Amino acid sequence: MKNFKTIITIILCVCYTVINAQSKEEDQKAIAIFEIKDARDNGSDFTPNVLEENAYLVLYKSNDGEEIMLSNYWEKSKSQSFGRIYSITKEGKPDTETEYKYDLYNFQWSYSNSYDDKKGTAKIKLFVVYKPQGTYFEFTILPENLDVLVYKGTMKGDLKLLDVKIDK
């Protein structure tokens, strides 16, 4: 019986180490994390739900590193909408004496939901403002049903890899 407990303990330690290593590897693939502070669905505020779920958006590299992916991740329920982004365009303005630097990205998102069988395509508008206090975003998602989801908050990370994928 004592050997059985030892074997189980060793197996659990190995499993934890493997899971922890995989988690760190996934974290390294993140390009930018968007911490949501305000959320609207067709103008209706659903911020409390988003904050309770610790929901966030993340841009990350695909496993093969060839594509950029987007996830709308709801941590508490461990559910997400995820998929590749493409047809990326960008415009923006540099810092001036009266305005902060900003970038406006537009792209398509081919997504699947982990919580149901729904798949689809959405148009995305990502507006990023660079202020001395931090980087702020407004993320607008327009799926096929023409609902308008708008998330606002702070961004951590760097969009340089997104710039490389811009359609010329």
- 107 falls within a domain: yes
Distances (CA, A) of 7 to 1, 18, 53, 65, 127: 10, 17, 36, 37, 53
- 43 falls within a domain: yes
Place of tokens 């811009």: 166
- 22 falls within a domain: no
- 159 falls within a domain: yes
Residue 5 confidence (pLDDT) = 55
Mean pLDDT by 10 residues, the chain (168 residues): 54 44 51 98 97 98 93 96 97 95 98 94 98 97 96 96 82
**Residue range of the domain that includes 155:** 31-164
Tokens of 96: 């001036």
The total number of structural domains that make up the chain: 1
- 2 falls within a domain: no
Pairwise CA distance, residues 67 & 121, whole Å:
16
Residue 163 confidence (pLDDT) = 87
- 15 falls within a domain: no
Residue 135 confidence (pLDDT) = 98
- 151 falls within a domain: yes
Residue 7 confidence (pLDDT) = 53
Residue 19 confidence (pLDDT) = 42
Q: Is the dihedral angle over the CA atoms 97, 99, 100, 103 positive or is it negative?
A: negative
Q: What is the pTM of this model?
A: 0.81
Place of tokens 């493997």: 18
- 13 falls within a domain: no
